[in-house]
Each structure stands twice: as C-alpha cells, then as structure tokens.
Amino acid sequence: MLVSATEMLQKAKAGHYAVGQFNINNLEWTKAILLTAQELNSPVILGVSEGAGKYMGGFDVVVGMVNGMLKDLKITVPVALHLDHGTYDGCYKCLEAGFSSIMFDGSHYPIAENVAKTTELVAAAHAKGVSIEAEVGAIGGEEDGVIGMGECADPQECKAIADLGIDFLAAGIGNIHGKYPANWKGLSFETLDAIQALTGDMPLVLHGGTGIPADMIKKAITLGVAKINVNTECQLSFAAATRKYVEEGKDLQGKGYDPRKLLAPGFEAIKATVKEKMELFGSVDKA
C-alpha cells in the first residue's frame, strides 16, 4: 500500500539521512526502483512529473501500475507516489487519482499567491492523508519544459511557506536540474543553514540530485536535507547501457530484439544507479 511521505521524511531528518525520490518514466523504471528499494530495505519515493504522467497514459495509469507492482512484487518497504513540480490543477488531478504525496510548485508566483494556493492545497491534501511539498526559489535548469534560474531561496519566505502546514520544503540553494555546467559554483550551504535555522524540524528537499558531488550531498544532509530528487542520472545510465547493447549488435543476435532482452541492460543500469544513491543518502536498512 502506498504511504504518504511525511513519516519517512521526519524519520530521515531525525536520523540524519535522506530518502531518494527517483522519477519514473515507464514500467521498467518503476520496477527497477521498487525492486532495489526492497532489496536494500530502504524507503523510497517515486516521482512523477506532469509530462511523464501524460507520457505513461495519465495519472490513473500510473497509480494502477504502481499499486499493481506493490502487490505482485510483494514490496513491503514504505513507498510514496509523489507528483513532482505539480501545477495547481495537476495537484487536484493527482489527489483524485490516488497519489500519496504531491508537490505544488508555486515558486513562479508572487509570494502572496504562492501562499494562498499552497494553503488551499495543504487542506485538500491533508483531508486525504496525502503529504505535500512546496517550493521557494526556482530550481535551475530545465525539466519537462519548466525552466528555472537556479536562484537561492529567501530564508524568510521559506519560513512563511513552511508555516502553512506543508510536510516538506524544497528550497533553491544553487541546485540545478539536469547536468551541472563546468562553471557551477556549488551548493550554497550558507543559504541552507539559514533556512534550517528558521524552519526547524521541517524536512528539506534537494532537487537536481544528478551530478552533485558526494561530499556536498553528505554536507547537505547534515544541514537538514531529508529528501533528494534524482531523475537525469537514471536516464543517462539507462541510455548508456542500451546504447552499448545495440552498438554491440546484440539486438541482431538470436531473439535479442525481444524487449525483455533489449531493455534488460538499461533496467539493470537503473538498479545500479538507485543502489549507489541509496547507499550515499544513507537510507539502506531504514525501512
């Protein structure tokens, strides 16, 4: 059964580790992430962007697929199904479809409007036992057409949003979606420290987990980050493994074109990436 992400993230914050949010794109992705979480006895959050939800056929398809896998694959570790960077309308659609967690990304609205919409969505989510993440300060880079500039959040604005009853907070600290450019200045730990000082026990979320060096990840966790989002890195490892299989001509040998064979190396590559991240984040054996 899907669970809200509140309890797993409160435990993570108190225990000084982070739970990974791994975005899903299709059945192979979902199965690879769930099986790895079960093997490592780790809680996990499956992230779904609105674009990926549409690609998979719609939010009802996603909920049906994930619930079916939890049952048939006998997954017993805590799993949350979370809308990533949700719009106002997208949040309501996911609450209706059966997601157990949502993110309302109101970071592009003026702060007063972000506050008003977040307040309303907190009530709607909590009425269904669903957890809710909000965002202050745009995350840099591009994800599914949503482009942010990588600004650092204002700690006072973070406190204002945290006080609305949300369950965890994404705050920009110089992080970027996708690959980091060579001239990236790194995470702003000063900003993170100031945000944690004002938001106390609130679990903080680090978006753009792909390509952040291990020492920065570890330091961010010591400063209150309890959820780390990873998307691009699984896509890169899936693509590299699939490319190798095809370039070696394996799809042309025997029944190598069978999707169960063609997609197997990519599937294994996602599993390896998720395992590496769970070990780095410290969530192994925390289910």
Q: Which residues bind ligand 13P (CB under 6 A)?
A: 23, 47, 84-85, 177-178, 207-210, 229-233
283: amino acid identity, one letter: S
R_g of the chain computed on alpha carbons: 18
Let me know: does 92 contact 99? Beta carbons within 8 Å: no
Question: 106 vs 245, which CB is nearer to ligand 13P?
Answer: 106
Question: 93 vs 207, which CB is nearer to ligand 13P?
Answer: 207
Question: 2 vs 230, which CB is nearer to ligand 13P?
Answer: 230
Separation of alpha carbons 19 and 286, rounded Å: 9
Helices (H) and strands (E) in the chain, counts: 12, 10
Smallest distance from ligand 13P to CB 177, Å: 4
Report the greatest alpha carbon distance in the chain: 62
Smallest distance from ligand 13P to CB 261, Å: 28
Separation of alpha carbons 218 and 207, rounded Å: 14
Q: How many CA atoms lie within 13 A of 88 on its CB side?
A: 12
Catalytic site includes residue 72: no
Question: 177 vs 286, which CB is nearer to ligand 13P?
Answer: 177
Smallest distance from ligand 13P to CB 230, Å: 5
- Active-site residue among 84, 144, 201, 258? 84
Smallest distance from ligand 13P to CB 175, Å: 8
Catalytic residues: 84
